[in-house]
Structure 1
Amino acid sequence: MQWRLLVIVVCLVCTASPVSASSDIDRFVGQQVVEVAFVSNGIQIRDPAVYDLIETDVGEPLTISEVRESLTHLFSLGRYGGISVNAYARDGGVALSYDLQIFSVIDRFEFIGKTELPDEDLRREVIRNHGEMFPENTADSVIETLRIYHAERGYLDAIVEANIRRSQRVNTLSITIRAGTRVRVNRWLITGVASASLNSRLRDRLGLEDGDFYDGLILDQRLSEYEAELHGLRYYEARLSHTVERRDDTAVDVRLTIYRGPRISVKFDGDEVPNATVEDLVPVAREASVDEDLLEDADLLIADYLRLLGYRDAEVMHTRNGVADEISIIFEVNRGPLYRVADVRIQGNENVSTDILLALVELPSGEPFVIGNLDSGLAAIEGLYQQRGFTTVRANSSSFDAVSLSTQVPGEVWQTVSLVVEEGPRMTVGSLVFEGVNAWPLEQLRETVATSASEVFYGLQIIDDRDVLLQLYLNDGYEQVVIDVDTSFSDDLTTADVTFRITEGHQVIVDHVLIVGNEQVDAETIRQELTIVSGNPLGLDDIAETRRRLNALGMFRRLDIREFSHGRVERRDLIIEVEEAPATTLAYGGGLEVSQRLRRDASYARGSAVERIEFAPRGSLQIGRRNLWGKNRSIN
């Protein structure tokens, strides 16, 4: 919708001056408004969404500011490319007529006459480049898109023409295509192939025959498929492309550029890499490249994988060997010893028990010793202490001591891990201050945050409290609120004074809620689901809840909620644009029922019952209709 917003802005600039300079309007300022009408293309329209936007209400005196405000609201709909206002004397007052020029949008397009290419393909190409609806001034781009597409399919001289059929509700782009003669391939010129036999095999593989119709789209698909085959044969750097050289009006030469590249093999050497394959850790096949940066990243990836298994000293280096047509990439793996945890010991903890801290360190006895798990455990210990007010706590590993075990396997090293905790002083909140607050009672803000005076000081909780306050203001329409936190500490680091400095800014109030795009669904049905009301603050949660409720109706294929500001920054129109889903739904299904039943067998004299397996087809068809009478009702 970016182009719609752009047009709105341009139109505002273009039409503001005629309204303000209108002597007709000026003559009637102060007189009572007795009638308001809307006209488009000479036809009076009665759209409730339009009447809701007007500030020049019947029975009120006319003011220029209300006229301008009404124009701004109408432009915010995004439906009109121009608006003018005329004033007439009537019944001792003034009658206003708003002339609305419908915004020029192509709602649908169609192909007239016979087309050489399938309509579905042409329609898909237009939608891919321009969408199902597009501005009227992009019609030339649509024509160029279709011309280029025909050229890619072999119609080099295709002529594409279009005209617009307008109606009150729908503008249709009618497209006529004279494709002309489809060119044939005079010669296939192949570069990058070493011999005539390979050339012949390649022609057979790609299905290339002199005299064939040229179709660049199908040719590119065949080249891509063959390129994928070469990658599967370990020619990871293979690249295929084609260019066209025109000979005359009916023939072209097509030049294929083939770069197969060397055949590449990748393998590990040295120590085994447990439970992993080359394809898992060296992505040359997936990336279709043997770039040196990629191989260096693979060195690090393999080494990191081994370290996660407990091979802390793992080292990996690669070498590239071979000639131009055959390259071997070898990753030399040196795992080093496998480190295992014999025991974990913790010292220095006075305020938290050892059992609690050990539960945070994922280093169970007998398991591989992974440095990453140790670092995570140390961070968890510090996080727990900080939650309890020990803001300067430090947890470190002091030593890894090797131990000998009778059951020790060669190539393994068992270690006792020693950790040291430096707790530091425990800090509490001295004072909690809110500055710059006008919108809320201070007591309400104190109840909103989790931090309170005389309780433990926790830095992350302060950040969470700031976010909670920010959300509180944003949900009340203070979109420019800024909240800073200032913390001052005592010399002995036992007390922290916390100050929330709040710059509230202006509060945004909803001026109008505009509903656009609904045709079958009644506007009142949509308004019943809105949590956003004119005159209330524009809150984030209200917008999210409105979006959720409208989506839950299941009536709309697409939903867009956007804001439109005009004049006063503290007032905002909210535009809810919907695209309705099809009103009729069709569901169907089929299957086969298999059952085992007792049946009378007439072949026996006494009519004995026997078990038989029976098959029966089953099917279902359901037709539904939504949005009945524009309401949230449906029938199936």
Structure 2
Amino acid sequence: MRVHAIRLEGASIDQDTRLRQYIVQQEGQPLGRVQVRKSIQNLFGTGRFADIRAEAEPTADGQVDLVFVTDENFFVGRITVDGIPRRGPSESQLINSTKLDLGELFVQEKLPLAMDYILRVLRDQGFYVATVTADQERHPEVQQVDLKFHIVPHARARVGQVTFQGDAGYTPEQLIAISQLHTGDEVTSGKAQRALERVRKKYSKQERLEADVALLKSEYRPESNRVDYTFSVQRGPSVDLHVEGASLSQRKLKKYVPIYEENAVDDDLLNEGRRNIRDYFQTNGYFDVNVDFKQVPAGADHRHVEYIIEKGERHKLSDLVIDGNKYFSEELIRERMLLQPKGWLLSHGRFSQSMLTRDVQSITELYHANGFQQVNVTTQVQDDYEGERGRMRVSIRIIEGTQTLVSSLKLTGNYAVSESTLRDLLTTTEGQPFSDFNLATDRDSIVNYYFNHGFPDVGFEADSQPANGDATRMNVTYSLREGQPVFVDHVVITGLRYTKPYVVARELEVHDGAPLSQSDMLETQRRLYDLGIFNQVDLAVQNPEGAAREKNVLLQLTEARRWTFNYGIGLEIATGSDPGATNTVQGRTGVSPLFSFDATRINFLGRNHTLIFKSRLGRLQQRGLFIYQAPRFFDSENLKLTFTTFYSDTRDVRTFTAQRLEGSVQLEEKLSKITTLLYRLTYRRVKVDPRTLVLDPTQIPLLSKPVRIGMPSFSYIRDKRDDPLDSHKGTYTTFDIGVAGRFLGSEASFTRFLVQNSTYHAFRKNWVFARSTKVGILAPSRSTDLIPLPERFYAGGSNTLRGFAINQAGPRDPETGFPLGGNAMFVNNFELRTPTIPLPFVENNLSGVIFHDMGNVFDTTGNMWHGLFRSQQPDKEQCKLLTLTATCDLNYVSQAVGGGIRYKTPIGPVRFDLGYNLNPPLFPIRREARSDTLTRFNFFFSIGQTF
């Protein structure tokens, strides 16, 4: 009989079309048992079906209709949990405990197990009478089942009877007080474990490092909803650890001897401590140190461990010589070494036998990775070199041997990908060095390429044989088994509650019908996390074990909390900043409390827009700021629109307090990874409080007049730094120009120009030379126009000129001596940043800085160009004259030198700088009938590098 038609029952229409490719039996052909069996096997292999049976239905013309009746499998989809008790486990903990993975085959028998796992987590948290039920929501169109677990926690159990057994050395009442585990306490996760740790810590403080404290059993009593605990406590002997022959603090001893960390004493741990102590003394110049230990019996309740140290003479590693290297430069080899000769930061150098061994291994691996399979690295350590006592010379001799090269490279089995495409991925090519490292690298490159182009089952084998018996020339063969390509059937998105679907859709790199790509899935996950509106982004392939050629990709999202509130309190400390010193020209070292409150609303309207409110309250500044951010303006990934409005009452300099109300709109355009353009329109109204103006009284009405400024501006930013928080290499350039014009309703008319360029150069081993140059110009539209005080340039402080206190550079009021700001500014900073300096307590987190700052604020642009060629203040004697006709010229380049320290933190370095002004200005104070000179020393404490 011939087959008239073939149908699949139980499969959706679109699946019916795709599933026909697995059916061997063809319409119009004779019905064959083998073909039907093979068809059923193929359909089962897709993983989509739980049961398949074939039925033959006769037709009127003597043929048959072949019907495959299917029962579809379902796969795990979204899992949610409700009814989670307060101070209980998190939802993610409970979901993970079910051991049901997104996209895996759902088996009904696993559901009771999943509920039992949830109950175990709840019992661990004290909810012994909790109940768990589960609902299933099936989605046949995508063969997915969503699971909803419902928890009824009931009352949390409490601690019942607490019993201690064994030789504890304490009464039960004392142990209860030490463990802080009291009858009637609520049972929470880890409560018993924390009680154990407290008891162990108590014994550890008594040097009883072998104390054995364990939980024997915990027994739940349902009639009272209480849990009884029974502990075993054996205090063990006290351990006395001493050092003979050298001075080593107890803190360091506990750091290097791991018996304190492991709470145990055995030969392995003591030997590890011996090696650590040896390395410590060797890194401090005692290269011949000998360390041994012995255990001295001291009674049944006491053990005495003694480390015997023979330090020997202190040495200096003055010479580190590398010889025989022809293929690699000495500089490249030294970069990979731990040994360091003496220098400014390491007065004795850095040497230990273990370091030398690791360096030999590192050099050997470097040569092996570049084809030198027979390389031999030997060392020679010479003490009292050239007759100088304590001087050490380390020689590293490299015998490179013959380099093994690739003679030929052959690829086989690549049918879907061209050979030229694969060769572009490879490190191993004809004529290049041969190494196992390169073979492994090539394997990863090829396999990842196939994974990312829809071939999840690709196989790779590498074979290498000497060419014509020559061991220095290798024939390499890469054999591939591509397997069947897999494509994306549908992308199934779940978990959206507030977020608009298009917000997620535009971030997807995985699309229907495209090859199933691992890199596209990871990129999608990264892009969605970068939005900042999801706590969790899970991607998985549905039916991962099946052989189907089209598979669904499941995207499960957990939205983040939309509201965030932050509170803060801190201090501002710097020279010249005390807002209470209103009658002191230079100010004095000030400490101002600082309070902050911030509120952020993310995912506003479900569009990934953000509302931000920030406030600061201190003696120098009171500010409120509101920001509305709309990324992907006009649906462009490179455009971001920001509306900003704020009010501030700020003591900008010691001369005045300004009240500023400002609103702006900014469009940010990301041209590339390193280039950004900013287009801004800003309106602000600035009012100077006349009561705070410390100026010539005749100028107060003019300078305290409220001013409205309307300014369109443009900024160009090019950022090639490796790390914006702590740069080591690269460049950073900004160009900003703005025009305040009366055509926009501005009451002052001027052009503002500001450009900054910073460069960072790394050299030797983690040294950095950094430079920053900043030039600013304010150009009034008319010579008679006056630039309002708050719009002028000011300099001085931790981020500009550290030879001045905050905003103390530049022109000054001759009557009162207070700074006025200027229409031009030039600032140049040089910094030499040291590598980290290993020190006790701070470890490798501390580094130093030596800096030179030069520049000033000038009253006009013309005076800036002239002043740049002046290294000293001109006509100082004129500044001592107090007559109305006398003029004091402050247009020159001020210079300062200094140093600072940086402490590395996750949010950037914390820094302290001390600056010394080499040529501070002299200026008159007519009101007090005297002249004054700015202080030479200034210090600053802040976060982040200077530039």
Q: Secondary structure of 1:327's match?
A: strand
Match of residue 299 from structure 2? 323
Quick check: 2:131–2:153 contact (8 Å CA) kept in 1?
A: yes
2:256 partner letter: L
Equivalent residue for 1:228, pick from 193, 198, 201: 201
Report if the CA contact (8 A) 1:161-1:176 is conserved: yes
> 1:268-317 deviations in whole A, cap 9, x for unaligned?
11234599721111122322222343223323332344444452452322
Q: Structure 2-normalised TM-score?
A: 0.45
Cα 1:545–1:69 change in 2 (3 A) is farther
Deviation of the 1:515 alpha carbon: 0.8
519 and 416 in structure 1: CA distance in 2 versus 1, 3 angstrom threshold: closer
Aligned counterpart for 1:269 among listed residues 218, 239, 244: 244
Match of 1:586 among 563, 573, 581: 563
Aligned AA (1:397): T
How many aligned positions are there? 543
Alpha-carbon distance, 1:480 to partner: 1.7
CA contact (8 A) 2:81 2:91 kept: no
In the alignment, which residue of structure 2 is the partner of 1:499?
476
Aligned counterparts of 1:443 and 1:485: Cα–Cα separation in 2: 20
Q: The residue matched to 1:573 in structure 2 has which SS? A: strand
Pair 370,55 (structure 1): closer, same or farther in 2 beyond 3 Å:
same
Gaps of 5+ in 2: 20-25, 28-35, 54-67, 101-109, 139-145, 343-347, 581-590, 612-947
Q: 2:257 matched to 1:291?
A: no
CA distance in 2, matches of 1:247, 1:565: 45
Q: Which amino acid aligns with 1:263?
A: S
User: What corresponds to 2:541 in structure 1?
Assistant: 562
CA deviation after TM superposition for structure 1 residue 585, in Å: 1.1
Q: Distance in 2 between matches of 1:147 and 1:352?
A: 61
Code of the aligned partner of 2:203: L
Distance 1:622 1:83 in 2: 55
Check 1:145–1:289 CA distance in 2 against 1; reply closer, same or farther (3 A cut): same
**Is the 8 Å Cα contact of residues 372 and 400 (structure 2) preserved in structure 1?**
yes
1:335 aligns with 2:311: yes
* CA spacing shift, 1:276–1:397, aligned 2, 3 Å: farther
Q: 1:14-413 maps to which residues of 2 (within 5 A)?
A: 29=5, 55=17, 107-110=80-83, 119-120=85-86, 137-138=112-113, 141=116, 145=120, 173=150, 175=152, 191-192=166-167, 198=171, 201-202=174-175, 213=184, 222=195, 224-238=197-211, 239=213, 241=215, 257-273=232-248, 277-309=252-284, 310-312=286-288, 314-338=290-314, 340-341=316-317, 343=319, 362=339, 364=341, 367=349, 370-375=352-357, 378=360, 392-397=374-379, 400=382, 402-403=384-385, 405=387, 408=389, 412=390
Sequence identity percentage: 17
Cα distance change, pair 255–264 in 1 and its aligned pair in 2 (3 A): same
Runs of 5+ consecutive residues of structure 1 not aligned to the other structure: 1-26, 39-49, 85-95, 112-118, 599-612
Residue number in structure 1 paired with 2:450: 473
Where do residues 388-537 of structure 1 align in structure 2 (5 Å cutoff)?
Answer: 392-397=374-379, 400=382, 402-403=384-385, 405=387, 408=389, 412=390, 414-425=391-402, 428-454=405-431, 460-461=437-438, 463-478=440-455, 479-489=457-467, 496-520=473-497, 526-537=504-515
Is the Cα–Cα contact under 8 Å of residues 53 and 512 in structure 1 kept in the other structure? Answer: no
**Relative contact order (alpha carbons < 8 A, sep ≥ 6): 1 or 2 greater?**
1
Q: Distance in 2 between matches of 1:455 and 1:166?
A: 59
Q: 1:404 to 1:514 in 2, by over 3 A?
A: closer
* Distance 1:428-1:624 versus aligned 2 partners, 3 A rule: closer
> Which amino acid in the other structure matches residue 284 of structure 1?
I
Structure 1: how far apart are the matches of 2:393 and 2:593? 69
Q: Give me the whole-angstrom Cα distance separating, in 2, the residues matched to 1:216 and 1:162.
A: 19
| Change beyond 3 A, Cα 1:373–1:512 | same
Q: What secondary structure does 1:513 align onto?
A: strand
Letter in 2 for 1:471: N
State whether structure 2 residue 519 is matched by structure 1 residue 550: no
Are the equivalent residues in 1 in contact too, given 2:409–2:429 (CA < 8 A)?
yes
| CA 565–336 in structure 1, closer or farther in 2 if over 3 Å, else same | same
Report if aligned partners of 2:166, 2:233 keep a CA contact under 8 Å in 1: yes
Aligned residue for 2:454, secondary structure, equals: coil
SS in 2 for 1:192: coil
Alpha-carbon displacement from aligned partner over 1:463-517 (angstroms, at most 9, x marks no partner): 5444434433333334323141424246666x62432332233242305133142
Q: 1:375 to 1:351 in 2, by over 3 A?
A: same
Q: Given that residues 75 and 542 in structure 2 are in contact (C-alpha distance below 8 angstroms), is that contact kept between their aligned partners in structure 1? A: no
1:539 to 2:541 alignment: no
8 A Cα contact 1:55 1:70, kept in partner: no
Aligned partners of 2:379, 2:195: CA distance in 1, in Å? 60
The answer to which of 441-450 and 478-487 deviates more is 441-450
Aligned-partner Cα distance in 2 for 1:125–1:447: 46
Instruction: Read off the aligned partner of 1:322 and give its amino acid letter.
Output: A
When residues 53 and 66 of structure 1 are mapped into structure 2, their CA distance, relative to the original with a 3 A threshold, is farther
CA distance in 2, matches of 1:220, 1:567: 43
State how far apart, in whole Å, the 1-side matches of 2:114 and 2:369 are: 63
Does the 8 Å CA contact 2:467/2:475 hold for their aligned counterparts? Answer: no
What is the one-letter code of the residue matched to 2:377?
A
* Contact preservation (8 Å) 1:396, 1:420: yes
CA contact (8 A) 2:408 2:474 kept: yes
Counterpart-to-counterpart distance in 1, 2:289 and 2:383 = 16
Tell me the TM-score normalised to structure 1 length: 0.63
Question: What SS does the corresponding residue of 2:271 show, helix, strand or coil?
Answer: helix
How much does 1:394 deviate?
2.9
Q: Which residue of 1 aligns with 2:809?
A: none
Q: Over aligned residues, Cα RMSD in angstroms? A: 5.9
C-alpha distance in structure 1 between counterparts of 2:488 and 2:230, whole Å: 64
Looking at structure 1, the residues matched to 186 and 476 of structure 2 have their Cα atoms a distance apart, in angstroms, of 71
Larger strand proportion, structure 1 or 2? 2
Deviations along 1:14-72, one digit per CA (max 9) or x if unpaired, are xxxxxxxxxxxxx99568x9xx999xxxxxxxxxxx98766489xxxx99999999999
Distance in 2 separating the partners of 1:473 and 1:219: 50
Secondary structure of 1:529 counterpart: coil
Give distance in 1, aligned partners of 2:41 and 2:519.
Answer: 31
**Is 519-528 or 467-476 further displaced after alignment?**
519-528
Partner of 2:812: none
Measure, in 1, the Cα distance between the counterparts of 2:593 and 2:394: 69
The C-alpha deviation readout for 1:77-135, integer Å capped at 9, x for no partner, is: xxxx9999xxxxxxxxxxx9999999899844449xxxxxxx52566699659759987
Which residue in 1 is equivalent to 2:880? none
Classify 1:490/1:559 alpha carbon distance in 2 versus 1 (closer, same or farther; 3 Å). Answer: same
